[in-house]
Chains A and B, each alone.
Chain A
Amino acid sequence: MLTVAPDTPARGPIRLLYFAWIRERIGVPSETVETRARDVAALIRELAGRDDRYALAFSDLAAVRVAVNQRLVELDGSLEDAEEVAFFPPMTGG
């Protein structure tokens, strides 16, 4: 039987996407995680604690940009309703 603690926020898994050198450092373009992180900064701390690849990818947060559900957010952006979170360096289009 499946029980859920009443204080556990009900949320589905989050799809993470990585681009450019962040993708290269982590070694995969995407993955799906279960997390209780409430904002982007908490998610980054969680990921950076996993192993050296993630720690290196997130070692300079001034060089990291984040989009939640395809919209740019600040590092303190909320993960409420987040289905897809993307991490990438400053964009160089044009």
Chain B
Amino acid sequence: MTMTVRLQIADFDPSTETDALIRGRDDIGAVVTFTGIVRNRDDGSLLALELEHYPEMTERALAAIESEARARWNLRASLVLHRYGRIRPGERIMMVATASGHRKDAFEAAEFLMDYLKSRAPFWKKEHTTSGSQWVEARDADEDALGRWT
């Protein structure tokens, strides 16, 4: 089992990351990847998202979430990559990739990782818009999403 957690300012290439995850292995039958992209508001007023994080806690929190996923599903490899800093609409913000022998494990584990990243990884988003800046509020739906895994 290979687990990788990466935090970076720079953009990334999902297919390069996915290739690196499975390169040289023949025990993987399924890879699921999810890529999150900064979406503009309907009126086009979003200038950028600013991602703040708590570096000392982030790795620990993500590693704990990943090891929980590993305990629940038969994963052979996984990647959590999250950017921080200033990110513009249309740019990639994060990705997860899960690799397993069969697709069900990879699909479910990827959803699980996403649900936990939303409300258990120490990141905070601030929106810079044409009419000012404000912190994004946590959505009840994101917290509720964790309920299905308990």
Contact = CB atoms under 8 A, between A and B. Distances in A.
Are A and B physically bound partners?
yes
B123 A91 contact: yes
Interface size class of B (residues with CB under 8 A): 20 to 34
Interface string B51-62: 011101100110
Contact of A89 (B53, B56, B121, B124): B124
B124 to A, nearest CB: 4
Interface string A51-94: 00000000000000001001110000000000010101111111
A53 to B, nearest CB: 17
A41 interface: no
Nearest to B138: A90
Interface in B37-72: 52-54, 56-57, 60-61
Interface string A7-28: 0000000000101110000000
Contacts, number: 72
Interface residues of A, number: 17
B61 to A, nearest CB: 8
Nearest to A20: B124
Q: Is the interface of B mostly helix, strand, loop or mixed?
A: mixed
Given A17-B54, A19-B54, A20-B126, A91 B119 contact: yes
Contacts of B94: 93-94
A91 B124 CA distance: 6
Interface of A: 17, 19-21, 67, 70-72, 84, 86, 88-94
Given A70-B60, A93-B82, A94-B94, 12 more contacts: A67-B122, A70-B54, A89-B124, A89-B138, A90-B119, A90-B143, A91-B138, A92-B118, A93-B94, A93-B121, A93-B123, A94-B118
